[in-house]
Amino acid sequence: MADQRLKGMKVAIIASDDFEQVEMTEPREALRNSGAITFLIAPHAGQVQAFQHDRKGDAFDVEMTLDEAAPDDFDGVMLPGGVINADRIRQVRRAQDFVVRIDEQGKPVAVICHAPWLLISAGLVSGRTMTSYYTLKDDIRNAGGQWLDREGVWDRNWISSRNPRDLPVFNRLMVELFSSYWQAAGKRREAA
């Protein structure tokens, strides 16, 4: 029987051009295989270009722009890495506001590789424990966070991982985190 722990859960995947392809496609597949509905959201309409390390990858259709996406309509967010993507997206105020609102509501956030830059720019890292690509450890520490060199770090409503090699752990932890939130959200709805 298919895993349907996340059935009906709406997850925003926020990326710009030059994201690391496997850091979007594999987590998206893990979410969808668990029943989640994912939306690739970008600052612009059309398509976003992926990279496979240092080579051009595939282009992916943008399903919603940041101007169209309301954080209250989503149950969680996943942020792929890629240094150029992460550096671009961290400068987009709508992206910062989106993750702030998701975090304020205690919804799950999953980040990998360079993606924590958006959380840093949004002012969310102070007091948090996480991991990332190793070159971000000083950025995380300077933002008031604790950086650990681990495949995956779970801190309250956040999951973080270092790089594509960590994807099996990242995907497993992400689905577990999103599932725990989704089950609790269902119980809250039933009680209301």
Which of 28, 88, 90, 114 is flagged as catalytic? 114
Please tell me the distance from the alpha carbon of residue 170 to that of residue 172, in angstroms, as a whole number. Answer: 6
Domains for the chain: give ranges and CATH numbers. Answer: 10-185 (3.40.50.880)
Which of 15, 24, 79, 113 is flagged as catalytic? 113
* 113 counts as catalytic: yes
pTM score: 0.94
Please tell me the distance from the alpha carbon of residue 24 to that of residue 69, in angstroms, as a whole number. Answer: 18
Are the beta carbons of 144 and 3 closer than 8 angstroms?
no
Q: Residue 187's pLDDT is what? A: 55
What is the per-residue pLDDT across 151-192, written as a single tens digit (0 to 9) for each? 999 999 999 999 999 999 999 999 999 999 998 877 555 544
Q: What is the DSSP string of 54-69?
A: TEEEEEEE-SEETTT-
What is the per-residue pLDDT across 37-60, written as a single tens digit (0 to 9) for each? 999 999 999 999 999 888 999 999
* 114 counts as catalytic: yes
Give me the chain's average pLDDT, please: 94
